[in-house]
Structure 1
């Protein structure tokens, strides 16, 4: 058996859900402020303020335990009628509240923001030498000519012959 719910009875439920969603969205969504983070920099943008006496207003970054706009780090809004912005750099990790107060005294919006801790630096392996290890004194290398190689080879050959002669002579009995 199938039960159907009349549209009239479900209408108030949908309206209540929509009202709850708008309430949870808070003044930031309604007023049009947008807060973002990039590393240790927090920035806010809005288009809700109007210029009064050459000033757009002030944005304040409140840390935990701070409840008044004057207690936080303040930054003047700058921009045009299309949009104003402010930013704070070197913000430590934690949860903050950004409050934008226009120069006419109206609060443009309030929004919470979480600043993540900076990632720890990672060590990347370096490439190994493509030609291997260079030998020599102090890591230097020298290209020897043909005459030097022949002279060195004859010295090594003479040394080998002298060693063989000496060992052969020692193995014969009665010789010193």
Structure 2
């Protein structure tokens, strides 16, 4: 395949012309402007898109699937610094929610959907009769030596033995192939 010289001359010019448009578009993941996370029944949102106006950063709202507008959700005022603002809701029931952040200049910083998972239920315990004679930990089939921590010295010594075995095997096979070598 031959590349024409005119294409080689125009390539950098085309790339230089397209660069401002690519930089203006910005990364795709930054379109939301907010970061939402859950921990148990607590939902929190963080953003750096809002500016402080009249002492307020803005508000964040948590909407469930039945609520359709910002005013109907559980609203919390944003708090923080110029670098990052945040809000949190506690005791949120399991379900799917939409988080909307509205800055104090009435610009939407972003919206994001979050799923709050139900808390894991404790497993039922069974009472064991006291007269039953059984091993304390069972058979432990397949676990092998992984149950015990041997320490650094033991692992280094084992690694050295395995390495010397590999070296000895290579030396033996090379010597067998050409007996005049040492």
Q: What's the TM-score bracket when you normalise by the shorter of the two chains?
A: 0.5 to 0.7
How far apart are 1:96 and its partner, in Å? 0.4
User: Which digits, 9 at most, give the CA deviation of each residue in 1:17-44, with x for residues without a partner?
Assistant: xx9x94xx5xxx3242100000000000
Provide the residue aligned with 2:6 in structure 1: none
How far apart are 1:125 and its partner, in Å? 7.9
Provide the residue aligned with 1:89 in structure 2: 90
Task: Say which SS state the counterpart of residue 49 (structure 2) adopts.
Answer: coil
Provide the residue aligned with 2:102 in structure 1: 101
Matched, 1:59 2:60: yes
Provide the residue aligned with 1:69 in structure 2: 70
Give the alignment of 1:152-167 within 5 angstroms: none
Supply the distance in 1 between the matched residues of 2:56 and 2:105 (Cα, whole angstroms).
Answer: 9
Supply the distance in 2 between the matched residues of 1:94 and 1:31 (Cα, whole angstroms).
Answer: 21
Supply the distance in 2 between the matched residues of 1:82 and 1:117 (Cα, whole angstroms).
Answer: 33
Q: What TM-score does the superposition give when structure 1 sets the normalisation length?
A: 0.55
**Closer, same or farther in 2 for the Cα pair 1:31/1:64, shift >3 Å?**
closer
How far apart are 1:65 and its partner, in Å? 2.0
How far apart are 1:102 and its partner, in Å? 0.3
Provide the residue aligned with 2:81 in structure 1: 80
Supply the distance in 2 between the matched residues of 1:30 and 1:44 (Cα, whole angstroms).
Answer: 15
Task: Say which SS state the counterpart of residue 71 (structure 2) adopts.
Answer: helix
Cα contact 1:93–1:117 (8 A) shared by 2: yes
How far apart are 1:59 and its partner, in Å? 0.2
Q: What TM-score does the superposition give when structure 2 sets the normalisation length?
A: 0.53
Supply the distance in 2 between the matched residues of 1:58 and 1:93 (Cα, whole angstroms).
Answer: 23
Cα contact 2:43–2:90 (8 A) shared by 1: yes
Cα contact 2:61–2:101 (8 A) shared by 1: yes
Supply the distance in 2 between the matched residues of 1:50 and 1:125 (Cα, whole angstroms).
Answer: 57
Cα contact 1:31–1:48 (8 A) shared by 2: no
Supply the distance in 2 between the matched residues of 1:39 and 1:55 (Cα, whole angstroms).
Answer: 29
What root-mean-square deviation, in Å, do the aligned CA atoms of Structure 1 and Structure 2 show? 3.2
Supply the distance in 1 between the matched residues of 2:99 and 2:86 (Cα, whole angstroms).
Answer: 12
Supply the distance in 2 between the matched residues of 1:56 and 1:94 (Cα, whole angstroms).
Answer: 28
